[in-house]
A = this chain, B = another copy of it.
Amino acid sequence: MFSSRVPAPSSKSDRTRALLREIALRSFREDGYDATTIRRIAQEAGVSVGTTHYHFASKNQLVQELYLDVQQRHRAALSPVLDETDDLIERLRAVYRTGLEELTPYHPHASEFVSAALAPKSDINPLSAESTAARDITEELFERAVAGAKHSLPDDIARGLPSALFLGHLLLALYWVYDSSPGQAKTRRLLDRGLGLLKLALPLARLPLVRKPITELIDMIGEVRA
C-alpha cells in the first residue's frame, strides 16, 4: 500500500520532485523546521529555487509531505500487528505505539513544528483543511482498530470512539513533543495508563447510569473536532 502511494519516479521531473522531497524530509529530521528553507533544499539538490518552487509551492507543502510520509509508515507498520489480535485495548495500543515510533526520528526538533503549526492561520495545523489527507489516514487506522476488535460496546459508542481516540492521539503527541525523559519513557507510561483506564471504563458503558456520561463525552469530543 505504501509503495503504491510513492511510485518509482519515471520522468526526469518526477525524479527531481522525489529528490527534493527526500532532501526536505531529511533536513526536517536532522536540522528541524526553522533551519530548513526552500533555498537550502534547492542548493543541496543542485537545482534552482524556481525549479523547487515549481514542485513545492512552499516549505509548508513539504511539511505536508512529511505528515503523509509519517502516516503512510504508520499504516504500513501497524497492519501486521493488527492481524495478531482482536482484543480492542491491544489493537489500540498497537495504533498509538506504532504512531509514536514513526514520529521518533523527528523528536529532537518536534517543538519547532508544534510552534509553526499553531501559528496564526497556519496551513500545517494538524486540524487544518490542508492536513486532511494525512489526518484521514490516521483516523482510518483507529476505525480499523475498533471495527476489527471483539467487544460488546453499544453501537453509538463504537461509532464515536475512533474520533475520540484520534483526539487522544493528538494530545498524546503534544505531550510526547515536550517529554524529555530518556526514550520518551514518560509518554509510553502515560499511554499504558490511559489504555488501562479505557479497559476499566469501557465495559461500564453497558451500565445504564454510566452509558449516558460516556456517550455525552464522545459526542462532546465530536463537537471539538467539528
Which A residues are closer than 8 A to B by beta carbons?
A: 109, 111-112, 114-116, 118-121, 125, 127, 171, 175, 178, 186, 189-190, 193-194, 196-197, 200-201, 204, 207, 209-210, 212-213, 216-217, 220, 223-224
Contact = CB atoms under 8 A, between A and B. Distances in A.
Closest 4 CB pairs of A and B: A115-B119, A201-B213, A200-B213, A111-B120
Contact of A204 (B189, B200, B209): B209
Which of A112, A114, A118, A210 has the most chain B CB within a 10 Å cutoff? A118
B118 A115 contact: yes
B190 A220 contact: yes
A89 to B, nearest CB: 14
Listed residue (A115, A186, A190, A196) with the most chain B CB atoms within 10 angstroms of its CB? A115
A217 B197 CA distance: 7
- Taking chain A's interface residues, is the majority helix, strand, or loop, or is none over half, making it mixed? helix
Contacts of A197: 213, 216-217, 220
Contact of A223 (B193, B204, B216): B193
Contacts of A196: 216
A189 B219 CA distance: 13
A31 to B, nearest CB: 13
A66 to B, nearest CB: 18
Contacts of A193: 216, 220, 223
Contacts of A111: 118-121
Contacts of A217: 197
